[in-house]
Amino acid sequence: MDNNRPKIIAFYLPQYHPMPENEIWWGKGFTEWTNVAKAKPLFKEHYQPKIPADLGFYDLRYPEIKEQQAELAKEAGISAFCYWHYWLGNGKRLLNLPFDEVLKSKKPDFPFCLGWANHDWQRKDWSSDASIIIKEVLIKQTYGGIEDYKQHFYDMLPAFKDKRYFKIDNRLVFTIFRPDSIPDIKIFFSTWNDLALKNNILSFYFIAHVGDKNMIDKYLTDGYDLINLSMLNYPFKIKYTKINMLIRFISNTLFKRLNIANYSEAIKIFNDKINCHEKVAPTIIPNWDHSPRSGKFGHILHNSNPKLFSVHVRDILNAVKDKKEKIIFLKSWNEWGEGNYLEPDLKHGKKYIHILAQCLKNTK
């Protein structure tokens, strides 16, 4: 792989197939598409529902879908998928069927790595001021210490041995969604690296997925090799001045508490100088709208379009141009329930894919 070319790692959600737990909690046949299909526009010019185009409402139990996704990802210039991986402790996994099939079948022939989605499996509700209330923890994320870390490692060892596994600096990339949640992170790091040596595989390149730029130094001190900084929440933060509070009150009244940020303004915030930090992998964010999941309490990036997306991509590419490791994450490949995807939809088709590919081509 050309080391001078920026490497784009796309987060991949495996939530598109029925599983017993989801059917118990949310009904027979529930998948991410359930919320996507029933979404409605909540204000004038609100782009909902978002309907997939080329791949349709796919089911990840079918291998040909994953093959088609890989072909589209190659067309976009993406270097690897980062499959969200749910290990809740004591051997409990969720949504593992699609990735298990990728391992078993050896298809698609496309690089991958794992991202540990280390959070409780929750049923959520929202209060009147749009703050999240955890109504019920369905399965708690647990950390069982060294023995659990060993079980986790050995369960995933076939993936680590796979020739497709994505590497940085000749080490296996492993991203952690909530780096602050693991109580003994240095023990986790040392346990896995010791087991890697024992099993004759490469050591790990640990990446912290972080939403607060002020926490970067903390996680580097903890021993992470790289910080994936996602500034998605920043456009939705508000300084509590009298005028801003008045604007928020009017917005809440008119839009029924929707928290809306214009994409044109958001990408200016995303273009932060911290992205140039040698140990920061910035994030490309094509769009965001989780109103299919949270209704009127959604956070929405409004008016994303291909032209603005091209500006955003060029900004992020420019931020990494002088780095030794030019690593960028894409959030996300297929988070349709959060309006956060690169896959083709009925409105824009493959334009976002073509723009990313063209911007990458222009960096050579």
Residue 263 confidence (pLDDT) above 60: yes
Asked whether residue 1 is domain-assigned, the answer is: no
Q: Who has greater pLDDT, 238 or 60? A: 60
Q: In CATH, what number is assigned to the domain containing residue 27?
A: 3.20.20.80
Question: pLDDT by residue (tens digit) across 303-321?
Answer: 999 999 999 999 999 999 9
Total count of domains within the chain: 1
pLDDT band at 286; cut points 50, 70, 90: very high
Asked whether residue 320 is domain-assigned, the answer is: yes
Task: Give the pLDDT confidence score for residue 4 in this predicted structure.
Answer: 80
C-alpha closest to that of 199 among 152, 160, 151, 141:
160
Question: pLDDT by residue (tens digit) across 29-59?
Answer: 999 999 999 999 999 999 999 999 999 999 9
DSSP E strands, 198-314: 204-210, 226-229, 259-262, 280-281, 283-284, 299-302
Asked whether residue 242 is domain-assigned, the answer is: yes
**44 DSSP assignment:** T
Asked whether residue 342 is domain-assigned, the answer is: yes
State the pTM of this model.
0.93
Asked whether residue 257 is domain-assigned, the answer is: yes
Enclosing domain of residue 282:
7-362
Asked whether residue 2 is domain-assigned, the answer is: no
